[in-house]
Structure 1
Amino acid sequence: MTALPRMLIVSFSPIRSDPRVLKQVGLFSGKYHLITCGYGAAPDGVDEHFALTPDAVGWPSDKIGLLGRRYKRAYGQIPAVQQARKLLTGVPLDVVLANDLNTLPLALELEPKYGVHSDLHEFAPKEKEADLKWRLFVAPYMRWLCRTYLPRARSITTVAPRIAAQYTKDYGVAAQVVTNAAPFTEGTPQPVGETIKLIHNGAGQRYRKLENLIEAMRSAPPGVELDIFVMPNEPDYIAELKQTAADVPSVKFRDPVPYTELVETSRHYDVSLVFLPPTTFNLENSLPNKFFEAVQARLGVIVGPSPSMVEIVKQYGFGTVTPDFSPDALAATIQSLDRGQIMEWKRAADRAAEPLAAESQLKIWEAAIRALLPAAESAAS
């Protein structure tokens, strides 16, 4: 029997809780000799796993290297890079799927036999552009990474059309789009009860301005409630949000649930608030996980005028778009909610669940990796 091609998926993230990387693992498990490298325990379905320790951060902290624009040195000093080098050097590899820009130089350095596919989860040069220090000292380094290493990747994917277009415009590389779509889940739209139940889930980061959701709920009519499931990315900010919501009884904070339980948890709600003010380029152009999870849960959505989301909402009809990103605009939309309209959105989400599911998106990764391999090895996989 011909041995399966040896594939490494590398991500400076805890893979077991990283939705996008878990989809890659599920897709390639059993089709390749699958190796992973990331924080924490091995994800299910892999043949080998190289664990990074929690203290091995994946971002540059070499101030001399960054300030002096000695970027190769700055990259080499990243603890996760140093640790991954020790773990992976000498491991025979046919292909590498490198997640996010910060793993790409490492992946190329490992010299897999048939090359590297780069999956870019955001537009990296503007990832934390809301932070002045980051813009001044880290953004030039990220642009250097793009200029230097993206042309060396055999193929590239990213998460949304406008982000792909920006990579092409700025760095001359072609990027296909693999959205953060959730896997297809069987289900039927649930009736709207006496209480209209709204949900927001996501990262607890200040630049996302989650306080807008709370302010909008201050004027919500009786019988409309919002549950917020938020990851404790910035604990001080989450504490502030909870204090802000203390006098808004229609808002409740819930403990975050694992990615694998989000769709099932969301089924108990009616409308998902996917309201992300464009404080950064990536937020402005995002197609976030929660947007697609709402579809699989057969919910309606309320989105701000984020162009990529607006296009899909208008195409499939499973929600509405606020006129702008102000709390007042969101409040007015919440005040106008109608149970009959929400049921129409839920039925539209049901019709959209299959075409917007992850399965169609995963074929793009599958084809990209297969294209790296010679015909004989590709057939073996």
Structure 2
Amino acid sequence: MDSPSPSSRARVLILCFSPLERDARVLRQIDTLSADFAVTTCGYGPPPRAGIEHVRLPDGLTAWKLDRPLVIARRFRRAYWKQESVVAAWKALQGREFDVILADDVETVPLALALRPKAGVHADLHEYSPRLKEDLLPWRLFVAPYIRWICRTAVAAATSVTTVSEGLAREYEREFGFRTDVLTNAAPYQDRRPAPVQSPVRMVHSGAAMPKRQLEVMIEAAMAVERDAPGSVVFDLYLTPNHPAYVQELRELAAGSAGAVRVLDPVPHADLPAALAAYDVGLFACPDTTFSLEHALPNKFFDYVQARLAIAISPSPEMVALLERHDLGVRSAQMSASSFADALRSLTPERIAHFKQSADRAARALSSEEEMPKLTAIVRRILEGAA
């Protein structure tokens, strides 16, 4: 059977080992591709979008439950095909045919290739996976070689590849030789105007509660600013409880702020734009303890732009490039509480108002409506190449 022409409803599988209804990047892929193609999703949790066929993987499976003896013995192919998530997805997708498979992150790429879509596989790499947890010695010794095997043997065989920032794309090409285009985590455009700066200034951070992100740096910085000028700022963190014990540690730290800092439960994804728009400044201090963190260009940066907030960040090169190009806010000199506090102190109400206006001017250019058509074009190129 020939591959469909790009103008027909080609069948596209979006394959991801995550709860899709909570994965903002995958939700944008679904919304974008379903406008032009017959989309099926495969992953954890309930259907992420009404009207989209969904192949649900059994709850409770672990995507990275590797057979340790096999990995130590460098029997990577055997280790991959023993993973319970891979086995479950392989069984669930038997008998189905697709024209293109979009494989989200490295762990899905060998499976996508084995399913033999008619036109090809697009690999979307959310991180620089070979160095994702390079701060952990066991991970560097055992897991990293396995991921590099996937990159050499599977990702290199994909029809096309994208990742989230220029730094990650350059490193994939340098280490593995395949070309990697950039598809950022830009958020959908929000039709709103900058709100007046409030008193006290309201600051916000939203994201995952993971110790490696050192969220305490932002809390300590905000507390330092509040001590210097009582009543000048409030800081709310909306955190997903990836590590409940860490969330509790952060709440205990924030308790010393006399209410100026609050650690709150996460906001549902659909409600996040309105929640963020109630603030003045979006914060993200990101350590460079791994290559992926050093070159992070996360969802929240773009969420802050769409909320028309001023932005305060640590000196992360990918974020700094956009911040300075669009005049969106301030950066600290170092990744430390004292340096980040200095950056926050420089945010006068007048400067915050200026940066909010800059965010408004940049919101269209930094939206998913401008970014995601790249993905549609990629799928069309794959289909054209197989026609």
Q: Provide the rounded CA distance (Å) in 2 between the counterparts of 1:138 and 1:255.
A: 32
Residues 143/375 of structure 1: CA separation in 2 closer, same or farther (3 Å cut): closer
Is the contact made by 2:218 and 2:284 (CA closer than 8 Å) also made in structure 1? no
TM-superposed deviation, 1:337 = 2.3
Q: Is 1:274–1:303's contact at 8 Å kept on the other side of the alignment?
A: yes
Equivalent in the alignment of 1:309: 319
Contact 1:191–1:343, Cα closer than 8 Å, also in 2: yes
Conservation of the 8 A alpha-carbon contact between 1:159 and 1:180: yes
Indicate the residue corresponding to 1:262 in structure 2: 272
RMSD: 1.5
Query: Secondary structure in 1 aligned to 2:66?
Result: coil
Aligned to 1:239: 248
For residues 70 and 214 of structure 2, the distance between their equivalents in structure 1, rounded to whole angstroms, comes to 33
Does 2:292 correspond to 1:282? yes
* Cα drift, residue 193 of structure 1: 1.6
State the one-letter code of the partner of 2:88.
Q
Alignment of 1:25-36 (within 5 A): 25-36=30-41
Deviations 1:166-195 (A, max 9, x none): 000000000110000001110000001221
CA deviation map 1:49-102 (0-9, x unaligned): 110122221113201111111101110111110000000022111110000000
Q: How many residues align?
A: 377
Q: Is residue 196–residue 353 contact of structure 2 (8 Å, CA) maintained in 1? A: yes
Residue 361 of structure 1 aligns with which residue?
371
Secondary structure, aligned partner of 1:230:
strand
SS in 1 for 2:224: coil
TM-score by length of 1: 0.96
Structure 1 position 349 matched with structure 2 position 354: no
Of the candidates 115, 121, 134, which is equivalent to residue 129 of structure 1? 134
Q: Give the fraction of aligned pairs with identical amino acids, expressed as a percent.
A: 42
User: Which among 161, 164, 167 is matched to residue 166 of structure 2?
Assistant: 161
CA contact (8 A) 1:192 1:270 kept: yes
* Cα deviation, residue 260, structure 1: 2.1
* Residues 1:338 and 2:343 are matched in the alignment: no
Pick aligned residue for 1:215 from 217, 220, 229: 220
Instruction: Please give the per-residue CA displacement for 1:327-378, whole angstroms capped at 9, x wherever unaligned.
Output: 100112222321011000000000000011111111111111001113897x
Q: Structure 1 residue 30: deviation in Å? A: 3.9
- Tell me how far apart the structure 1 counterparts of residues 16 and 194 of structure 2 sit (CA, whole Å): 36
The amino acid across from 1:276 in the alignment is C
Q: What residue in structure 2 maps to residue 88 of structure 1?
A: 93
TM-score normalized by structure 2?
0.95
Alignment check: 8 A CA contact 1:130 1:207 kept? no
In the alignment, the residues of structure 2 paired with residue 108 and residue 277 of structure 1 have an alpha-carbon distance, to the nearest angstrom, of 35
1:199 to 196, 204, 210: 204
User: Residue 234 of structure 2 aligns to which amino acid in structure 1?
Assistant: E
Partner secondary structure for residue 47 of structure 2: coil
Gaps of 5+ in 1: none
Asked whether the 8 Å contact 1:34–1:46 carries over to 2, the reply is: no
Find the counterpart in structure 2 of residue 292 from structure 1: 302
Deviations 1:235-289 (A, max 9, x none): 1111111112211121111110122221111000000112111111111101110
User: Given the superposition, is the C-alpha separation of residues 242 and 55 from structure 1 closer, same or farther in structure 2, using an over 3 Å criterion?
Assistant: same
Note the residue ranges of structure 2 that are not aligned, 5 or more in a row. none
* Structure 2 equivalent of residue 57 of structure 1: 62
Q: 1: CA distance between counterparts of 2:287 and 2:386?
A: 49
